Amino acid sequence: MSGAGAPRLSVDGSGLRVTVVAASWHTQVMDGLLAGARRALAAANVSHVSVVRVPGSFELPVAAARAVEHGADAVVALGVVIRGGTPHFEYVCQAATSGLTDVSVRTGVPVGFGVLTCDDEQQALDRAGLEGSREDKGAEAAEAAVATVVAL
């Protein structure tokens, strides 16, 4: 985890089934987030990892709900939403955030929140876990999901 006050998480996720649901907009950033999530899950010894790709971040909640129905112990949701010239940004961010929260709270299955909501592409690249990025939000979301399952 990174940022002021962020915890250092180190957990053993052996035996857990984790599904990564990933949007497809902003390919380069998504590739970084997905690679970071995979790295973090491997470091936590999670061997049962499924990846489900959906078109956009708006579709992440339904994919997360299905993953839970199919037996996932934790879900990692990854997406990138970049502000444009219309209010569309707010609607997609709101739908993704509240939808993923709803799935998690309703089912009791942790959902790691790795959806970047950025003003421009550079902000997203800085957080994508790519070479030169300052932060690795895909890894952070995966670590948070696994740590929460273990804690509960």
Residues flagged as binding site for (2S)-2-hydroxy-3-oxobutyl phosphate = 85-86, 127
Q: Which is nearer to ligand DLZ, 16 or 100 (CB)?
A: 100
Q: Does 33 bind ligand DLZ (CB under 6 A)?
A: no
Q: Does 23 bind ligand DLZ (CB under 6 A)?
A: yes
CA distance 127 to 137: 6
Q: Could you give the maximum distance between any two Cα atoms of the chain, in Å?
A: 45
Structure-token pair, residue 122: 């550079």
| 88 φ, ψ (degrees, to nearest 5) | -55, -40
Q: Which is nearer to ligand DLZ, 13 or 58 (CB)?
A: 58
> For the chain, how big is the Rg over CA atoms in Å?
14
**One of 25, 39, 102, 133 touching ligand DLZ (CB under 6 A):** 25
Catalytic residue list contains 26 = no
CA distance 145 to 78: 12
Binding-site members for 5-amino-6-(D-ribitylamino)uracil are 25, 57-59, 80-82, 113
Task: Please choose, from the candidates 95, 68, 102, the residue with its C-alpha nearest in 3D space to the C-alpha of residue 79.
Answer: 95
Residues between 75 and 94 with contacts to ligand DLZ, criterion CB under 6 A = 79-82, 84, 88, 92
Q: Does 73 bind ligand DLZ (CB under 6 A)?
A: no
Residues between 91 and 120 with contacts to ligand DLZ, criterion CB under 6 A = 92
Three-state secondary structure call for residue 10: coil
**One of 19, 57, 104, 117 touching ligand DLZ (CB under 6 A):** 57
Structure-token pair, residue 149: 């399952």
| 140 φ, ψ (degrees, to nearest 5) | -60, -40
Active site residue ranges: 88
Interface residues with ligand DLZ (CB under 6 A) are: 23, 25, 55-59, 79-82, 84, 88, 92
